[in-house]
Every structure is written in structure tokens, then in C-alpha cells.
């Protein structure tokens, strides 16, 4: 009896052992790439911002660039506007994309196909073109102003070059990915489980709250972290549409490096941004793990 | 104490499919009616219209006299059990059952009481804390049934609830559901395409084809006295033979039986158990295959034009493949223009 069992088990172990090197190799490539392209530069940047050469040309531990960042009014304002933009965009994305995704999931026919095409469209438009379209439409003397003028109404207060400029651009830019991720999540909600909820007396709102939302909470998290990480470190849209001061960390770094020519300052800002992104990432990982543990 | 009236209900889908066509049915209080029909005959569509998940394109549905035709599912006194149980996997068993009661703002202690009582009823006492994914298929279907029952619906709707279970479990659950239904005296509409399921559970059977009623009767009547050739062929095994009636005889090149009806084309129907055989030298029917089941035998026959017939015989060892055979029907029915026009007294 025991011999038979052993005989049955051994090939399995052998197979696993033979497969292991291939598995490791497959994992090794992305891990090496990540170490080379992400972790190494990050460590390098952190190292170069805390081990600095002082006046005597000696390498020493020195946190002064961070002290400067966190005591400088302007840097803090930039950090605040970055966090504010990220937060507002995340909320707006949810508020806009959830209804779109719900509509696409639960309605069929030609109209929903058009809505889907429209929602996915921004994905194929480069940010720069998006920014110029924004300026031509919502900017000073843009299309909206011209239209309002034609019917003798006052001009709008354009969001161009205000903190709302990047918000509008970034939200538009992130709608496709958010909708697609939410839609994928909604795909796992079976029609019959929704019908069963209606059968026991749940109205549309109760179905959404008690049946749909718990099932897609992971997708919501994934969608939000994708967009939050992207928005937090975005450059093009805030650079083209945002105010000069305060500015988001992306343009701020670029200016610190190129115009102010302060590489250590720029690196410090990068490390701070990196730190925030890691916090977002950890929050995401923890939520997903907790959801799966349930 | 609930009666269901379905009055000339029609459903035409946007694509033009006429899934249910002017269908009428009255279900009496406490009655279990089975909707039986082949795939695509409109059973689910009809049930979903009663539950409120599809809007009829014509006709009326009333429950206890109240017109519910245009009410959404959440406002109908119906409870539906779906084929794929459709439990909410993010809730445990207790929460699945309590959900509907909570929506009705029932106090927590009463909810607990009711849920425990209904779990007891379906034989799952003590399973409240289980996640639904940790249950077997049969247990999941019981929870789905309990979820409907706990709300005490006036009409219980079941759409092939056992289709995904194995034969053995299906038979057991079938009996359990029938027991519960009789104990609660709950008016029930049950969709199935398994005839043994319908024959063993139903007070009455509705045989459907192409969205229309073929016959509504007690199970034994549907079996013994099918009103249309379709029902004859669909319920149980039936030999259907096309031929011509001439001068009081059903006549074919290969055999002839007395049939006292007016001349014209007719379809003759004979159950295998009513078809006796005798060895014969005359050209006509011949044995194709003999199967011995121990208790009885089944003989497959071919008529000259290739029509395949079945006969149940007591002594299969008397017959051999290729042998010539004379047909001696003991009881026959005849159909013309889709209607039964003759039935010999059994
Ligand atoms: N949503 C729909 N849109 C268009 N046609 C449909 C829809 N639902 C069902 N039909 C059509 O209506 C007809 C009846 O379908 P229904 O599901 O009621 O059959 P059924 O008797 O339940 O069959 P089965 O035994 O396979 O479940 C079929 O021809 C089907 O293709
Ligand atoms: Mg069906």
C-alpha cells in the first residue's frame, strides 16, 4: 500500500523539480529588469540625496535637502496641490466611470456601443493633443467662449492655468483605463445574482450597494491605484494646463532640474514622490489581501 | 392561499422571436404545475414573465386578482429559484437568507428566528455561518430554495433548479421540494425539460412547444391520453406511424389495423408496451435489434419505409435480428390535423 502511494507521488515531485528552473527563469527576467530600471536608480537617488559631499569634498550623512523640502513653503504647496489634484481626480473618476461602466455592463444595443467607443476614445489620443484640444475648447477665447459670445452671454472663467485645468485633463485622460478595469470587474457579476436580489425585493440602488459593489470592490481598488499612481507623477498635462505656481511635482521636478539646475533638489522631490507612491501601493496591496482573505 | 392567472400572455423579443404565444394558464391555490417542453419552447421566458424579469408584449398576469403584469420583480409576491442557484458569494448562508428580510426592515431577532426555521426546513440547520462557496451543489440549491421560501412568497417559481445536479441527487431533491411544497401548500410553477421530473412531481403538467400550450392535464392523463402527436412523441416513448385510412382500416404497404374513422391521412400512435409482436413470413416489418433488460425486452423494428418502431416484450429470446414480424397493437390512438381523433379503449 505505502509502496504504491510512494510510486504515485514521486513522479509528481520530479516533474515539479524539472519545471522549477524554467519558472525561476521566467520570473527572473522581470525581476532583473525591475532591479536594473527601478530599484537601482531609486536606491541610487536616495543614496545621493542623503550621502552628500560637503564643502571639504567629504562624503557625509546629510538630510538637509529633505529638511529644506519639508520646510520650504513653495515645495509644500506643490506637494499639497499634487495630493489635492490626485484626490479630486480619483473621486471624479469614480463618480464618472462607475455609472458609465454600469451602463455599459447592463444595457445592450447600438447606443451602448457608441458610449463605449466614446469612453475608450481618449486612450488613443496623446496627452499633448488632448491638452491642445482642451485649450482650444475651454481656454480663453476657445470654442465655448465663442459659442457663448454668439448668444450674447459672458465668457466663462476658464480653468486653463488654474489647478482645475490639470484635473479636467487628467480625468479625461484616465477615463478609458478606469472604465475598462471597472467593466472587467462588472463582468464577474452574474446576471442571475442580480435578478435574485431584485426577486427578494432590492431596488436598483440596493442591488448596487449590497450585491454589485462588494463584488467589484477589488476592481475599484485596482482602477483607483492605477489612476492615482499615474496622476500623482503625471507631467505633460499639469505642465501644459496647470498654473505656474503652485505646480504639481512632475513639472516642479523638471523645472528644478533644468531651470534651477539643482539636481539634488529634483532628486529629493523624486524620492518624496516615490515615497507617496509606495504608500499608495502598500495601501492597495493590503486592501486586496484583506478582500481575498474574506 | 394564492391563485395565479396567466391570460393570453405573449412575448415577442426585439429580434422577432415569438418565445411565448398567447399562453393561458390558471394555477389553483397550493397547486404544483410543471411547465414541460423541449429546449427553446418558451418555458423560461414564461416563468420570467411571471417573476417580472421579462415584460410581456401582450396579455395579463394576475396573482390573487391583483394585476402584476407591469410590476418590477421587487414588487411582486413571487419567489424565484434559478438554475444556477445565483447565491451571493460574498455573503454567508445566513446573510443570503436574511437579505430580503432586512430589506423589509424586520427586527434582527425575528430574522434570526425565521432564517433558522427555514434552514431547518431545507435540512441545513446549523449551516448559517458557512460561505456559500463551501457548500455542495445540492446544498447550494437548498439554500437558494430557502432564500425564496423565507420571504413566504405567494407564488414559488423554479426554473430547472436541479439541472446541474447528478441524477441521484436530483431525484432526492425533487422529493424534498415536493414534500416542502405540500407542507407549505405553496402555489408553485416549476420549469423542467425532464419528463420523469414532471411526471413525478406535478399536480398538473403543461406541455409546451413553440411558445404554445399543447396539453394541460394530470400527469397520468398526459401520459395515457396525449392530445396531440407532439405530446404523444414527447412524453414517454411512442411509436408514431404515418398512413392512410381507407374503409375503416389504417393501411400501409407493410401492415394494416382496423381504425374506425373517416377516410384520409392519419398518424397512428402505439406505446411500446401496447405493441405485441408475432413471427411472420409475410413481407413487412423486420426485427432490427433485440435488447434484453432482464425484467423485459425491447425489440427495435423497421418498417419497409425505414420507420423505426419499438416494442416491449416479455420474452425477448423469442426474437432474432432480421426476422419477419407481424404487428399486433393492443391499444392505439390516431391523430389528424394535429388533433386526437380516435383512441381505442385500453
Ligand atoms: N433575451 C432574449 N432575446 C431574444 N430571444 C430570446 C431571449 N431569451 C430567449 N429567447 C428566445 O426565446 C425562445 C424561448 O426561450 P426560453 O429560454 O424561454 O426556452 P426554454 O423553454 O426555457 O428552453 P430551455 O429548456 O433550453 O431552457 C428561444 O427561441 C430563445 O432563443
Ligand atoms: Mg430555460
Residue at a domain's end among A44, A62, A80 = A62
Identify the pLDDT of residue B256.
85
C-alpha grid cell, residue B313: 416484450
DSSP for B17-67 reads -EEEEEEEEEE-TT-EEEEE--TTSSHHHHHHHHHTSS--SEEEEEETTEE
In which residue are the cell numbers 478609458 written?
A: A176
| A5 and A122 inside one domain | no
The protein residue with its alpha carbon nearest to ligand 1, atom 6, reads: B13
- For residue B57, what is the domain's CATH number? 3.40.50.300
C-alpha grid cell, residue B290: 433485440
In which residue are the cell numbers 472587467 written?
A: A184
Ligand nearest to the CA of B209: 1
Number of independent structural domains in chain A: 2
Interface confidence (ipTM) of the complex? 0.84
Give ion ligand 2 contacts, CB < 5 A. Answer: B 44
| A56 and A135 inside one domain | no
Distance CA B172, CA B160 (A): 15
Q: Spell out which residues of chain A touch residue B87, defining contact as CB-CB under 8 Å.
A: 193, 196
Q: Give the gap in angstroms from C-alpha A87 to the nearest C-alpha of chain B.
A: 29
| B61 and B150 inside one domain | yes
Q: Among A267, A247, A249, A268, which Cα is nearest to A68's?
A: A268
Confidence of residue A94 (pLDDT cuts 50, 70, 90): very high
Q: Residue B202 belongs to what domain range?
A: 4-230
Give the single-character DSSP code of B92.
Answer: B
- For residue A99, what is the domain's CATH number? 1.10.3720.10
Length of chain B: 346
B246: three-class secondary structure by DSSP: strand
C-alpha grid cell, residue A184: 472587467
Q: Give the gap in angstroms from C-alpha A198 to the nearest C-alpha of chain B.
A: 5
Distance CA A27, CA A25 (A): 5
Residue A11 has pLDDT above 70, yes or no: no
Number of independent structural domains in chain B: 2
Hey, are the CB atoms on A197 and B99 less than 8 Å from each other?
yes
**In A141-283, beta strands by DSSP E:** none
Q: Residue A17 belongs to what domain range?
A: 1-62
Distance CA A157, CA A138 (A): 9
Distance CA B45, CA B212 (A): 12
The protein residue with its alpha carbon nearest to ligand 1, atom 8, reads: B45
Q: Does residue B194 line the site of ligand 1, with CB under 6 A?
A: no
Q: What is the reported pTM? A: 0.82
Share of chain A above pLDDT 90, in %: 40
Tens-of-pLDDT digits for all 346 residues of chain B? 699 999 999 999 998 999 999 999 999 999 999 999 999 999 999 999 999 999 999 999 999 999 999 999 999 999 999 988 799 999 999 999 999 999 999 999 999 999 999 999 999 999 999 999 999 999 999 999 999 999 999 999 999 998 888 889 999 999 999 999 999 999 999 999 888 899 999 999 999 999 999 999 999 999 999 999 999 999 989 999 999 999 899 998 778 888 999 999 999 999 999 999 988 887 788 899 999 998 999 999 998 888 899 999 999 988 988 888 888 999 999 999 989 999 987 5
Confidence of residue A2 (pLDDT cuts 50, 70, 90): very low
The alpha carbon torsion through B312, B317, B319, B322 (nearest 10 deg) reads: 120
Pure H helices in B80-206: 93-103, 108-121, 137-149, 167-184, 195-201
Hey, are the CB atoms on A202 and B103 less than 8 Å from each other?
yes
Torsion sign, CA atoms B133, B136, B137, B143: negative
Q: Spell out which residues of chain B touch residue A197, defining contact as CB-CB under 8 Å.
A: 88, 99
Residue at a domain's end among A35, A62, A89 = A62
**β-pairing verdict for B275-279 and B155-159:** unpaired
Interface check for B100 against chain A (CB to CB < 8 A): the answer is yes
DSSP for B304-337 reads TT--EEEEEES-GGG--TT-EEEEEESS-EEEET
| A21 and A131 inside one domain | no
pLDDT digits (tens, 9 = 90+) for A147-203: 988 888 888 888 888 889 999 999 999 999 999 999 999 998 999 999 999 999 999
- The H or E element that residue A93 is part of is helix A73-106
The protein residue with its alpha carbon nearest to ligand 1, atom 16, reads: B42
Q: Does residue B56 line the site of ligand 1, with CB under 6 A?
A: no
| B220 and B244 inside one domain | no
Torsion sign, CA atoms A175, A177, A183, A188: negative
Hey, are the CB atoms on B72 and A206 less than 8 Å from each other?
no
Q: Among B325, B324, B154, B309, which Cα is nearest to B243's?
A: B309
Hey, are the CB atoms on A200 and B53 less than 8 Å from each other?
no
The protein residue with its alpha carbon nearest to ligand 1, atom 28, reads: B40
Mutate to test the pocket of ligand 1, among B9, B37, B42 (most ligand atoms within 8 A of CB): B42
| A187 and A58 inside one domain | no
| B157 and B94 inside one domain | yes
| A228 and A267 inside one domain | yes
Hey, are the CB atoms on B86 and A198 less than 8 Å from each other?
no
Q: Spell out which residues of chain B touch residue A210, defining contact as CB-CB under 8 Å.
A: 99
Q: Spell out which residues of chain A touch residue B74, defining contact as CB-CB under 8 Å.
A: 198-203
Q: Among A104, A120, A121, which Cα is nearest to A112's?
A: A104
Identify the pLDDT of residue A8.
43
| B130 and B77 inside one domain | yes
Amino acid at each position: 500500500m505505502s509502496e504504491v502511494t510512494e510510486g504515485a507521488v514521486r513522479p509528481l515531485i520530479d516533474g515539479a523539480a524539472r519545471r522549477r528552473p524554467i519558472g525561476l527563469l521566467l520570473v527572473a527576467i522581470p525581476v532583473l529588469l525591475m532591479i536594473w530600471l527601478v530599484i537601482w536608480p531609486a536606491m541610487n537617488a536616495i543614496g545621493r540625496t542623503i550621502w552628500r559631499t560637503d564643502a571639504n569634498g567629504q562624503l557625509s550623512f546629510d538630510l538637509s535637502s529633505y529638511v529644506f523640502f519639508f520646510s520650504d513653503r513653495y515645495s509644500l504647496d506643490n506637494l499639497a496641490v499634487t495630493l489635492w489634484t490626485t484626490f479630486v481626480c480619483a473621486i471624479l473618476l469614480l463618480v464618472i466611470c462607475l455609472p458609465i461602466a454600469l451602463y455599459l455592463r447592463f444595457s445592450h444595443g447600438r447606443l451602448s456601443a457608441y458610449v463605449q467607443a466614446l469612453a475608450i476614445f481618449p486612450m488613443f489620443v496623446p496627452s499633448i493633443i488632448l491638452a491642445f484640444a482642451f485649450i482650444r475648447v475651454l481656454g480663453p477665447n476657445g470654442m465655448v467662449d465663442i459659442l457663448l459670445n454668439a448668444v450674447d452671454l459672458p465668457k466663462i472663467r476658464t480653468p486653463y492655468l488654474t489647478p482645475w485645468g490639470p484635473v479636467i485633463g487628467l480625468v479625461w485622460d484616465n477615463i478609458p483605463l478606469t472604465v475598462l478595469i471597472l467593466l472587467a470587474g462588472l463582468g464577474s457579476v452574474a446576471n442571475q445574482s442580480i435578478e435574485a436580489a431584485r426577486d427578494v425585493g432590492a431596488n436598483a440602488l440596493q442591488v448596487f450597494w449590497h450585491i454589485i459593489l462588494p463584488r467589484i470592490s477589488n476592481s475599484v481598488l485596482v482602477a483607483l491605484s492605477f489612476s492615482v499612481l499615474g496622476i500623482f507623477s503625471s507631467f505633460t498635462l499639469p505642465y501644459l494646463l496647470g498654473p505656474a505656481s503652485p505646480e504639481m511635482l512632475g513639472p516642479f521636478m523638471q523645472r528644478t532640474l533644468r531651470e534651477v539646475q539643482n539636481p539634488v533638489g529634483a532628486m529629493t522631490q523624486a524620492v518624496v514622490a516615490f515615497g507617496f507612491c509606495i504608500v499608495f501601493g502598500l495601501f492597495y496591496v493590503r486592501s486586496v489581501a484583506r478582500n481575498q482573505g474574506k | 392561499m394564492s391563485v395565479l392567472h396567466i391570460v393570453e400572455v405573449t412575448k415577442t423579443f426585439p429580434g422577432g422571436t415569438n418565445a411565448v404565444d398567447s399562453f393561458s394558464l390558471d394555477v389553483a391555490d397550493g397547486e404544483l404545475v410543471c411547465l414541460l417542453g423541449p429546449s427553446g419552447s418558451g418555458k423560461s421566458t414564461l416563468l420570467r414573465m411571471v417573476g417580472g424579469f421579462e415584460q410581456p408584449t401582450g396579455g395579463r398576469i394576475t396573482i390573487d386578482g391583483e394585476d402584476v403584469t407591469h410590476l418590477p420583480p421587487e414588487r411582486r409576491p413571487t419567489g424565484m429559484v434559478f438554475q444556477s442557484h445565483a447565491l451571493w458569494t460574498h455573503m454567508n448562508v445566513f446573510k443570503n437568507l436574511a437579505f430580503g428580510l432586512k430589506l423589509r426592515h424586520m427586527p434582527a431577532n425575528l430574522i434570526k428566528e425565521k432564517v433558522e426555521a427555514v434552514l431547518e426546513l431545507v435540512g441545513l440547520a446549523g449551516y448559517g455561518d458557512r460561505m456559500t462557496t463551501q457548500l455542495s451543489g445540492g446544498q447550494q440549491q437548498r439554500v437558494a430554495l430557502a432564500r425564496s421560501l423565507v420571504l413566504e412568497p405567494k407564488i414559488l417559481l423554479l426554473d430547472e433548479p436541479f439541472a446541474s445536479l447528478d441524477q441521484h441527487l436530483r431525484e432526492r431533491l425533487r422529493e424534498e421540494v415536493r414534500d416542502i411544497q405540500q407542507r407549505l401548500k405553496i402555489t408553485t410553477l416549476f420549469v423542467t425539460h425532464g419528463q420523469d421530473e414532471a411526471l413525478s412531481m406535478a399536480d398538473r403538467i403543461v406541455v409546451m412547444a413553440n411558445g404554445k400550450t399543447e396539453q394541460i392535464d394530470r400527469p397520468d392523463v398526459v401520459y395515457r391520453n396525449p392530445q396531440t402527436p407532439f405530446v404523444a412523441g414527447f412524453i414517454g416513448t411512442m411509436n408514431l406511424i404515418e398512413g392512410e385510412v381507407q374503409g375503416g382500416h389504417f393501411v400501409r404497404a407493410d401492415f394494416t389495423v382496423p381504425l374506425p374513422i373517416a377516410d384520409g391521412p392519419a398518424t397512428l400512435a402505439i406505446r411500446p408496451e401496447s405493441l405485441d409482436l408475432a413471427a411472420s413470413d409475410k413481407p413487412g416489418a423486420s426485427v432490427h435489434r433485440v435488447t434484453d433488460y432482464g425484467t423485459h425486452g425491447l425489440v427495435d423494428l423497421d418498417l419497409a419505409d425505414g420507420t423505426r418502431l419499438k416494442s416491449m416484450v416479455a420474452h425477448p429470446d423469442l426474437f432474432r435480428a432480421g426476422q419477419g414480424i407481424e404487428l399486433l397493437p393492443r391499444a392505439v390512438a390516431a391523430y389528424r390535423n394535429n388533433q386526437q381523433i380516435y383512441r381505442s379503449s385500453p
